[in-house]
Chains A and B, each alone.
Chain A
Amino acid sequence: MSVLTDLIERVRSIIFRRRDERELAEELAFHTAMETEKLERRGLSPAEARRQTSLALGGMERVKDDVRDARGTRFLHDGQRDMAFAIRTLMRNPGFAAVAILTLAVGIGGTTAVYSAVDAVLLQPLPYQQPGQLVRLYYTDTRRKEERGVVTPVHFLDYRQSMGAFSSIAALFLYSESGADIGTGADVRRIRILPVSADYFDVVRVQPSIGRPFSRDEESDASVVVLSHALWKDKFGGDPSAVGKSLIMNGRSYTVAGVMPDGFADPLAGAVDAWVPGDLRPGRDPNEAGNHYLSVIARLRPDVTIPRAQAELDQLGATLAQRYPNARYAGARLDPLKEDIVGDSSKPLEIMLGAVAMVLVLICVNLANLLLVRGTDRAREFALRSALGAERRRLVRQTLIESLTLALAGDVAGIIVAYFAMKAIVAIGAGSIPRLSTLELEPRLLVFSLVIASLSALGFGLWPALRAARTQPGDILREQGRSATSGGVQMRLRQWLVVSQVALAFVLLVGAGLLIASFQRIRQVPLGVRPEGVLAFELHLPEARYDSTARARFYETVAERIAALPGVAAAGGVSKLPATGDFNIWGTQALTGPLANLDRGNIAGQNRVVSGRYFAAVGIPLLDGRLFDEHDDASAPRRVIISRAAAERMFPGVRAVGQSLTTGGGPREIVGVVADVALDPQGRSGEGYVYHPHRQFAGDRNWSLVQVVRTTGSLEQLQGEVRRLIASLDPQLVMYKPMALTEAIGRGEAQRVFTLRLLTTFAAVALGLAALGLFGVLSYGVRLRRREFGIRMALGANGGSIRRMVLREGMVVTAIGVALGLLGAVALSRVLASLVFGVSTLDPRVLASAAVFMALVAGFAAYLPAHRATSVEPSSVLQ
């Protein structure tokens, strides 16, 4: 016989099953009719002929089954029947089905959602061509190479000119990345603009879809702009002739040079509406070789490796150190761009992946437990059916199909859960985890979840099914439910499964506990400011209408007018909110005192420009000297206030007030010393702050000061009042991004919040599953031992002792699980170390609370079965 013909015939009969069935029925009807006719011709009555025919030919359905067997498609018919049967069986026990499907849904949904988050953030390369060639360039201390800082424009221009290892290099002015007002009158709105150097679009290899990128001639504050696809649609209705037209930003007219394609995203900035050329004219900055503010990315030539490029960079660095002696360092380092972007968020996500794996194992164990119980429950049913002549193979298949039906239902539910879980992850992580916004449910992931579901169903369906098939029907039927021995081995197995669940849940609990403890620790870190009750918002003054004098006056006026509002204690402005990171790190040199003009008297000063009563508004106390007042204006000598750390570094042993230093392009006199402020929410301290009065520094650039307002009232109410006040001063100004200062500072810890929320969710799910498992095992044990309990009670045992017996059993299982979990937590302490802050990964308080919590939940899960054990009526089980 030809294998091919056979295959074709089989496939054909699968495809044309319906037709085949119809034709078979017709053929058999024809056969019967002919037979009946034959008998009638022999003189029988039609009724008798029909009777004899049907006797002679046997059951029609049986014949059909045999024909289907011969066709090789019988498995399909049986499958369909089994499926219908499985659904009916499952419906008879909706509790079991619901728990199983829910378990699967949580498992598949959670895994799929977190897997896609990890996939979007970690696994997928950058959305640019040849992403492996992209690097981030940092300035670094030649002695401390792990230091990463932004780059000075002078160095950048030299890298661009001399580095042979780069095919292109670009600078992003992320420091000045800011808003711009577009439109006029009531239509005015704020957009985000990002100044970049000319080769930016070459480095990422994404060119404007219409128009052109910037040229190097335009790196001189030229009035050209490249629009994002969205802004182009919005302002020009997607008209291709927009190129060459003008767009008013901040009251200044820009010519549209190009439009970026839809979906383009900057590697280092988010949600940019327009790009303008960054100003790279030499000599623009008075303190340039010491003034770091460029974020630099580059594309390596195809044949160049990072170490080779680094070698060239080191060589160039030596030359630059000689050329610009006033630069603090001339070193630079390269990091793969992807690593740079993903950076710190890779660890939490990897830990998340581990947590998900644990939850998945928990879910599988629960499922195994469920199916095992069911397998035992149905052993008698199977034995009976097998004794009545059902094929073993058929019974195994029946069980498998039941599990598969469960898996399919769980999968559908899981996809739904995944969809919402993903929405939740995006919502939780928005803003703190880069590229998370690109997250979406992918077909690949659906396949992934399908595979998980089918595998778990097959795995856990197969075992009880095979066991059922192996059992001698007589053994089980003889048992008559009198002895509990058959459950014994299985009971132990199931207890161990629950032990493993408790252990896994405990590890997750410890993880969540450590995060919570770290969180409390971070909250306790002294930041040097009192952020509660402070409203912060950006207030940008368009240069076209506000020159430096007008800006200096306006920010002071706004602070004064806001301070006059009811409930407001103080108001002011600052170039960068406290504890939100580095900004304007300029070389700062003591000019007087013991370290005058010495290298040791030079610090990397954190320069801030302030207006109004900034120090009072955020709660920085004055330690010595005085704060700025209206006399510190453009006509007065340049003055600064420094932080205590800066004072101690530059003027050790002497009073800093009255001394002078140089920063930001000239000598300054120190009029006051204020308390230190942390650089980030973790309490990192820098080398010290230098505060400049905005009145004196407004001419340097448009500082777009962030306004801070301290109030004793509610922030929402204050926000409305301030908005009205600003509108009364200048209706075209926008109160941009208003938020609580606590929230603004909290941004830095958002990533930890993200991890915390996900991990506590997982810990809760794990805890729930473990409790469910424990509950299941104990209840089942109680059911098996009903007779025993009945006898005990008949012999005089009281309810309390029986309850204690069951509870003790639950506690023993929990204790073993916690002990194993403890070992797991110790083994994982290295991994968890990256999550914690100021807490040991083996913090006894955290471990103890996790154990107590686990025990409480376990006690709760054990109580119900224990209670049920005492409700056994001795007479009912002993009859």
Chain B
Amino acid sequence: MAGEPGELLQGTLEMMVLKTLSLEPMHGWGVAQRIQQMSNDVFLVTQGSLYPALIRMKRRGWLTTSWRVTENSRRARYYELTVAGRKQLGLEQASWLRASAAVNWVMNARLVPDGGRA
């Protein structure tokens, strides 16, 4: 594992879950694995934060659930994005890009003798 797993903001976790599920419907463990892999093991998603987040998103109508059988024939609950969920992913992605760009600007700022900004 490379470094300490990062603390996740709640909104960020939800966005990543939405992103993961936008690729294909998946069960909870799968979502956690996929995020861990995709973040190069930076984010370790625990049950304690994943399942409440899934339930909350379902309550908001972004996800639907169904019980299916996995490839190694176990019964698991699969989560799938709804149209509203897809729309939400778009919104969150856009605001994330804006916010992270802004954070980057701030973090890259340097002092200029005239008091102006680069």
Contact = CB atoms under 8 A, between A and B. Distances in A.
The answer to whether A and B belong to the same complex is yes
A63 B59 CA distance: 18
B77 A27 contact: yes
Interface string A11-35: 0000000000001101110110111
B61 A2 contact: yes
Interface string B36-52: 00000000001111011
What is the predominant secondary structure among interface residues of chain B facing chain A?
helix
A783 interface: no
9 contacts: A5-B59, A26-B77, A27-B51, A31-B29, A34-B29, A58-B47, A67-B51, A70-B59, A71-B55
A62 interface: yes
A31 B48 contact: no
Interface residues of A, number: 28
Given A24-B51, A31-B47, A58-B47, A71 B74 contact: no
A57 B53 contact: no
Contacts of B52: 66-67, 69-70
Interface residues on B, range: 20 to 34
Given A27-B76, A58-B47, A70 B53 contact: yes
Contacts of A28: 47, 51
A6 interface: yes
What is the predominant secondary structure among interface residues of chain A facing chain B?
helix
Interface in A19-59: 23-24, 26-28, 30-31, 33-35, 38, 56-58
Given A6-B59, A58-B46, A67-B55, A23 B77 contact: yes
A369 B85 CA distance: 56
Nearest to B60: A1
Contact of A58 (B48, B55, B59, B67): B48
Contacts of B75: 26, 30
A34 B46 CA distance: 14
B19 interface: no
A10 interface: yes
Contacts of B98: none
B28 interface: yes
A72 interface: yes
Nearest to A24: B51
Contacts of A147: none
Interface in A645-661: none
A1 B14 CA distance: 14
Given A2-B60, A5-B61, A10-B59, A30 B51 contact: no
A71 B59 CA distance: 8
B74 A33 contact: yes
Contact of A30 (B53, B56, B61, B74): B74
Contacts of B58: 9
A757 to B, nearest CB: 60
Contacts of B46: 56-58
A30 B48 contact: no
Nearest to A38: B33
A69 to B, nearest CB: 7
B48 A9 contact: no
Given A28-B47, A31-B28, A66-B52, A6 B60 contact: yes
A56 B33 CA distance: 14
Given A31-B32, A71-B59, 8 more contacts: A2-B61, A9-B59, A10-B59, A27-B28, A58-B46, A58-B47, A66-B48, A70-B59
Contacts of B47: 28, 31, 57-58, 63
Contacts of B29: 30-31, 34-35
B56 A70 contact: yes
A310 to B, nearest CB: 70
A23 B56 CA distance: 16
Most buried by A among B55, B67, B74: B55
B59 A72 contact: yes
Given A23-B77, A30-B27, A35-B29, A62 B59 contact: no
A56 B59 CA distance: 27
A868 B61 CA distance: 66
Nearest to B62: A1
Most buried by B among A2, A9, A31, A56: A31
Interface in A232-274: none
A74 to B, nearest CB: 11
Interface string B64-80: 00010000001111000
Interface in B82-118: 84
A647 B77 CA distance: 106
A506 B33 CA distance: 77
Contacts of A23: 67, 77
Contacts of B53: 70
Interface string B1-43: 0000000000000000000000000011100110000000000
Contacts of A34: 29
A38 B37 CA distance: 13
Contacts of A35: 29
A28 B76 CA distance: 10
B100 to A, nearest CB: 24
A63 B60 contact: no
A30 B31 CA distance: 13
A63 B51 contact: yes
Contacts of A2: 60-61, 84
Given A27-B76, A30-B75, A66 B60 contact: no
Nearest to A58: B48
A39 to B, nearest CB: 12
Contacts of A33: 74
Contacts of B60: 1-2, 5-6
Contacts of A10: 59
A33 B55 CA distance: 21
Contacts of A67: 51-52, 55
B31 to A, nearest CB: 10
Contact of B48 (A5, A27, A38, A62): A62
